Amino acid sequence: MGLWQRLFGSGAPDGFTGELEPDETVVAFTAVTGGGHVVVTSLGLWVPGPRRIGWHLISKVKWEGSLRVVEAREAGVLDSVVLLEDLAPQRFALAEPGRVMRAISQRVEGSIRHRERVEPPGVWVVQRKIPGRDGAVWQARGDAGVDEAAVRAAVSSFVEGLAR
């Protein structure tokens, strides 16, 4: 724990039970209706549980009267590209969304170094920086309804294009 945190605390809200990494800083937070907090940090988004979702694993985030987060899971690797599958959306009713929504959007967008759409079949290929790690990672995510074989073919084609 750094001197700043020893003197002033982590910056996390009272009652937050997540364990921040030594170099993880709190950027913004708000209470969630029904209990818990959404906490934006340098390394990811803490949701009630508490559980941190890394910025590189957030596929979509949107305000729809509540915070809607689509988290991805790593489903495999093909030619050094991590294949992602979206999980079911999670919704959080936020007490004060303003600053938190801005911080989330900045960090999700800020993690993306390059973005490319492969049509057909409808696959996003992105290069993302993973906070707390050196370098970047390539990721691919198919649109809803695009099967795994089509995603794999699109990724192979994309990687061939990079090699040229």
Residues spanned by the domain of 23: 3-163
Q: What is the DSSP string of 61-125?
A: EEESSSEEEEEEEEEEEETTEEEEEEPPPEEE-BSSHHHHHHHHHHHHHHTEEEEEEETTTTEEE
Strands 58-63 and 67-78: antiparallel
Q: What is the pLDDT of residue 147?
A: 94
State yes or no: pLDDT of 5 exceeds 90. Answer: no
Quickly state the pLDDT bin for 149 (edges 50, 70, 90). very high
Average pLDDT, the chain: 92
In total, how many domains does the chain have? Answer: 1
Instruction: Note the pLDDT tens digit of each residue in 52-104.
Output: 999 999 999 999 999 999 999 999 999 999 999 999 999 999 999 999 999 99
121-134 pLDDT, tens digit per residue, is: 999 999 999 988 89
Q: Note the pLDDT of residue 4.
A: 43
